[in-house]
Amino acid sequence: MATKSRPEREFEAELTQRLRERARLLLTGETQVLQTLVDARAQILATLAELPADWQQWHLSRLLGQIEDVLSGATGKAGSLFELRMQDAWRMGEDFIDKPLARIGYQVEMRLAQLDVGVLQQMRAFGKLRLKDVGGEALRKIGRQLGLVTIGTQTPFEAIKAVQAALGAESAQRATTIVRTELGRAFALAAEERLTQAAPLVPGLGKQWRRSGKTHSRWNHDLMDGQVVEAGKPFKVPNPGGGIDLMLCPHDPKAPAEQVINCGCIAIPHMKSWKVVTPGAKPFTELELKLDARKAALDKAAKEAGRRQE
């Protein structure tokens, strides 16, 4: 394999640093939103623990009002934190193009117009609504459980256990999925827009699909790993029943939900003059090959075709 040039090494080093920052942002966003739900859960369970054992003394409407206030406050705080992290993701997506190009002599940052933040504002508002809906769904589940107590078909102990479940893993998973998906989308959209802006100033600028490296990932995303297309062009993703064109690898707002949710793939800027082995796929790890037979089959076929090295 040919030794990489110094510009290519510096470009990749900057990309690596930017990807680390992106990973930290995703973790921070998820952790902050999750903590608001954890705090709300503790407050609600403390309220329920103070209720009289005799369910006939419960005042359901007042109790649900208290719980609604807690959940509303929690999702409101989560939404505010989410908005801030979305702003960070947008800025990082722009830097993901500007900073690596600067390392190889293309000072595009001062020559290009600022990105239109209108789309970002819409994405922030949409994400906040989805987080609010997490609280609304939890309230509905809690209401059903507490209602069963007031008509005598469930004990308070059973209801509290059910409330713990309603405020536990399911709500947390929904919230963190929303945060992870939307932050990834904001980053990808800003990077795509910036890449398209920079392309006229940087001959041969394109983008390359890089898989997430998750053990159980989407087979067609693994197959796309390493594919390079020109700036402004979509990736052609194979899919049963017909291929899919994805501009944002695969955080495209127009993409089907099954191609987007919890996907960790990313499109990185790439120079046409830097030759890669098609598809230039990263080797699967031993753990991936061990735990996913599909990856092992893809790996074998790619190596036989000369598309992936040992």
What span, in angstroms and rounded, lies between the C-alpha atoms of 40 and 63? 15
157-194 pLDDT tens trace: 888 888 888 787 788 889 999 999 999 999 999 999 99
Contact 185, 251 (CB under 8 A): yes
Lowest model confidence (mean pLDDT) among 49-63, 69-83, 179-193, 253-267? 49-63
Mean pLDDT, rounded, of the chain: 86
Whole-number pLDDT of residue 53: 74
Question: The whole model's pTM is what?
Answer: 0.85
Q: Is 46 exposed, middle or buried (0-12, 13-18, 19+ CB in 10 A)?
A: exposed
Whole-number pLDDT of residue 101: 96
Whole-number pLDDT of residue 279: 45
What span, in angstroms and rounded, lies between the C-alpha atoms of 36 and 111? 41
What span, in angstroms and rounded, lies between the C-alpha atoms of 163 and 150? 15
Query: Cα dihedral angle (15, 18, 20, 21), rounded to 10 degrees?
Result: 180
Residue 48 has pLDDT above 90, yes or no: no
Q: Taking residues 212-223, what's their average pLDDT?
A: 81
Collapse the DSSP code of 114 into the 3-class scheme (helix H, G, I; strand E, B; otherwise coil) and give the result. coil
Q: Give 284's pLDDT tier (boundaries 50, 70, 90).
A: confident
Q: What secondary structure does DSSP assign to 159-191, as a single string?
A: HHHHHHHHTTHHHHHHHHHHHHHHHHHHHHHHH
What span, in angstroms and rounded, lies between the C-alpha atoms of 158 and 48? 12
Query: What ranges do the domains of the chain cover?
Result: 1-202, 203-310
Q: Which amino acid is at 137?
A: E
Q: Whose CA is closest to 192, among 150, 229, 232? A: 232
Lowest model confidence (mean pLDDT) among 36-40, 77-81, 256-260? 256-260
Q: Pick from 2-6, 107-111, 219-223, 269-273 the range whose average pLDDT is largest.
A: 107-111
Count CA atoms within 13 Å of residue 63 on its CB side: 23
